[in-house]
Amino acid sequence: MKSFHLTSRGVVVASVILVGLSAILGVVPWRLVAADAPPAETESGSVSETASETIQKQIEALAQAAEAGPEAGSVHIAAEMRTPPQDNFSTIGAEFKFVPIDIWKQFGDKPKWRVEKPGRVAVMDGDSTVMLILQQMVVKFPYAAQSAFDNHWLVRLCNSKEIVTREFRAALAKGWDVKLAEETSASGEKKVVVTIEAKSGLPDNDYLKNKFFDGADLRCVYRFDAKTVRLEGFDAYLHRPDGDVKVITIGRIEYDQPIEPKVFTLKIPETANVYKEPQRLSNNEKYEKMTPLETARAFFEACAKEDWDEAGKFYQPLNDATKKYLGGLELVHLGEPFKPKLYPGWIIPYEIKFKDGSTKSWNLAVRNDNPAKRYVVDGGL
């Protein structure tokens, strides 16, 4: 793989912008006043710029430096994340253990990426996009997606320029608290640290608040090399009443290192079931009229009877493991459905009793934004 090298013109441009960045950062030498503090008066009586205006200038200077910096040919990120190994790429939680998560991105005319944690892997090979869960379930798209399966925020970590030029500007536009600081490494290298207080905008009683990265109140800390404005570290802390908890941390980032072609291929087991979107049934109107509560009841009752043709109308793919897990269950209770702000469906609390006598109380997710326009089970089993 060809590694990036700056032309003489590129070096000059980057240097000029970095000088401007240093000058702007010097306005407030890493001792930022509160954003809501009153403007200070100079000796002449004129009002100096506010901390908010200073931060905006700092971000703009950083963005210009990033745009003029070197283009990465490839990136590999090795991180750890508090998340269930097989669950959604965006699922986070203080209650979960850290699991390894790796992100690869190949730039160029035909970009490619791969995101992987122990029970879930997604790959875009430049032509198509596929995800494999627990070596059992496959989801395929016949096109090259920039990101997919809720891994957008992870893939984005590979693009330092996009983080600085788009995400940081967006954070300022939303009115989030943004702070910049400068650090010096043990070897004397200058680092830029950007801290953002990301707000979910969700009420505290929303079911999905703080369960997914985009729906969480987080303190996000980005560390960049001051010369190249390349990301060198990232940590995110989940805000909780009993104290902040780190939910993701980057251990290593490698730029412009050769990536083996096999990284962007995914071997699908012959026994894996391929997910297909719900299609219209011969009596589809009957199911279209079902409410979320009626859908949950019909699905669990079909599982209780082990009527897999009927259960399959609500949940796919139904493999042998799922049938063994749900077959012969007893529906104990269904609660009142509710609709979270960020989810395009409904959540139904439930309690079921399995054949072995054990019970489970959880929440079933159903949605009907599919070609068949009927509610199907989207998660919660």
Task: Kindly report the CATH class assigned to 276-379.
Answer: alpha beta
Structure tokens given for 244: 């902040």
SS3 of 134, please? Answer: coil
> Is 251 within 8 Å of 80 (Cβ atoms)?
yes
From first to last of its 381 residues, the chain has per-residue pLDDT tens of 322 222 222 322 232 223 333 332 332 222 222 333 344 444 544 445 677 888 899 999 999 999 888 889 999 999 999 999 999 999 999 999 999 999 999 999 999 999 999 999 999 999 999 999 999 899 999 999 999 999 999 999 999 999 999 999 999 999 999 999 999 988 899 999 999 999 999 999 999 999 999 999 999 999 999 999 999 999 999 999 899 999 999 999 999 999 999 999 999 999 898 988 899 999 999 999 999 999 999 999 999 999 999 999 999 888 888 999 999 999 999 999 999 988 999 999 999 999 999 999 999 999 999 999 999 999 898
Q: What pLDDT score does 332 carry?
A: 97
Residue 268: CB atoms within 10 Å: 12
| Burial of residue 151 (number of CB atoms within 10 Å: 0-12, 13-18, 19+) | buried
CA distances from 68 to 233, 254, 312 (A): 20, 20, 54
**Torsion of the alpha carbons at 314, 316, 321 and 325, rounded to the nearest 10:** -20
Q: What pLDDT score does 381 carry?
A: 87
Angle between helices 51-68 and 8-25 (to 10 degrees): 170
| CA 169 – CA 57 distance, rounded (Å) | 11
Q: What pLDDT score does 276 carry?
A: 87
Q: What pLDDT score does 7 carry?
A: 28
Structure tokens given for 155: 């893939």
CA distances from 190 to 229, 232, 238 (A): 10, 12, 28
Residue position matching structure tokens 């994340």: 81
| CA 329 – CA 331 distance, rounded (Å) | 7
Q: What pLDDT score does 364 carry?
A: 96
> Is 153 within 8 Å of 250 (Cβ atoms)?
no
| Domains in the chain: boundaries | 8-68, 74-264, 276-379
Residue position matching structure tokens 């070609």: 371
Phi and psi dihedrals of 98, rounded to 5? -70, 135
SS3 of 216, please? Answer: coil
Please report the DSSP string for 165-185 in residue order: IIIHHHHHHTT-EEEEEEEE-
Q: What pLDDT score does 173 carry?
A: 93
Alpha helices for 208-291 (secondary structure H)? 284-288
Instruction: Give the helix/strand (H/E) hosting 53.
Output: helix 51-68
Please report the DSSP string for 18-40 in residue order: HHHHHHHHTTTTS-PPPTTSPPP
Residue 189: CB atoms within 10 Å: 12
Instruction: Give the helix/strand (H/E) hosting 296.
Output: helix 292-305
Q: Report the CATH architecture of 74-264.
A: Clam (2.50)
